[in-house]
Amino acid sequence: MSAMSAVASTVDAIRAAVAALGPGALSEQSLQAHIAPLFSRALTANRERIYLANHSLGRVLDATEDDVREALAAWYARMGDAWDAWNIEVDAYRGRLAALLGAARADAVLPKTSAGQGLRAVLNTYDAVPNVVATRGEFDSLDVILREYARRGRIALTLVDPDRHGRFDAASVRAAIVPGTALVVVSQVMFETGQILPDVVGIVAHARARGARVLLDVYHSLGVIPLDVAESDVDFAVGGAYKYLRGGPGACFLYVAPRHLDAGLRTLDTGWFAKEAPFDYARPDPPRFGPGGDAWLESTPPVLPFYQARAGQVLVQAIGVERLRAHSLAAQRRLVALLAEHGIAAEG
């Protein structure tokens, strides 16, 4: 079987399973009948346990092994020419993420190995020391980077506190954004509490009016909460496939709004893959960068994580995030009702 036919077979199998669900609301019966078989290896290996940590490492699909084998097969068969196939898959990875994010262009999505790598790329667009606003609820990856940049005098950092219940409100975030603020870093979903940050669109508009850009961390929401980066008008977004996209570690991204790409915004985090023609090895001074988002690429990227992420991305795209969200909310309502029957009040 050729590499292309292998891709078609695994992707088609996922799409066929989703098509068998039929239209309308998802049901546990149909999910068990048609979607559970896509996870047969993980389910069989863990049949004695109920896995409740999908908000952390998502359950892996059977097709993922075939996808990774495909990347290795290109290496075995083609050696250095494997880059022809690998680059096609990286572009496909960017395209699938663009669709999930609501991005207008696939080149606005930059492959990264961590959300933190994406944050550093954004911080390294500033020549002067920027004033940065973030919340105390950001995930450790971003929080550690922000605090270390601040400790070393690379940024001036303002942190927004939660209320006494551990929740963040849009008004508190807006109040911290003042003229002179350069960058605002917030999460669509707070990782510790699962709170959906209210009024992201309003925060973005408030920041824009004061000359600030907004970076939205969507790692804890992408794949389960509807998102449209174009509609929300965020400047940047970071995230990855570790959780609800079921792509494991290493398959992450940075989104840069096309308006910034078209205006020539650049980062110091660059490398030879950002060149206009990476494989011609010319060294003009200054370097000539690729068009659009390609100018934000870095040095030799890993490729296995982007194959590893394929099956999960295809599954979520095929089902649809809005449909998954509706099913999740129905399950939440059922859980809250069952807890109430036992005198347990649910918060959130």
Give the mean pLDDT of 156-185. 97
179-212 confidence digits (pLDDT tens): 999 999 999 999 999 999 999 999 999 999 999 9
Q: What's the pTM value of the predicted model, to 2 decimals?
A: 0.94
Closest CA to 208 of 183, 187, 228: 183
305 touches 113 (CB < 8 A): yes
Structure tokens that stand for 33 in this block? 């009948």
The per-residue pLDDT for 346 is 87
List, for residues 319-332, the tens digit of each pLDDT value: 999 999 999 999 99
Q: Where are the alpha helices (DSSP H) in 177-302?
A: 200-209, 229-232, 258-262
Residue from 261, 210, 207 nearest 234 by CA: 207
Q: How far apart are CA 34 and CA 31, in angstroms?
A: 5
The two tokens of residue 36 are 């559970």
pLDDT at 10: 84
**Cα 51–Cα 52–Cα 56 angle in degrees, nearest 5:** 105
* Sequence-ordered alpha helix ranges (H) in 210-319: 229-232, 258-262, 304-308, 310-319
Categorize the per-residue pLDDT at 52 as very low, low, confident or very high, splitting at 50, 70 and 90: confident
Point out which residues pair with 185 in neighbouring strands.
Answer: 134, 215
How many Å separate Cα 48 from the centre of its chain? 31
SS3 63: helix
| Mean pLDDT, rounded, of the chain | 95
Domain ranges of the chain: 82-308
- Band of residue 5 on the pLDDT scale cut at 50, 70, 90: low
Per-residue model confidence (pLDDT) at position 323: 98
82-308, which class in CATH? alpha beta
Q: pLDDT tens for residues 257-307?
A: 999 999 999 999 999 999 999 988 989 999 999 999 999 999 999 999 999
CA 339 to chain centre: 32
Cβ burial 111-124 (10 Å sphere, 16+ → b, else e)? bbbbbbbbbbbbbe
The pLDDT value recorded for residue 4 is: 57
Asked if 269 contacts 211 with a C-beta cutoff of 8 angstroms, the reply is: no
Q: Is 308 exposed, middle or buried (0-12, 13-18, 19+ CB in 10 A)?
A: buried
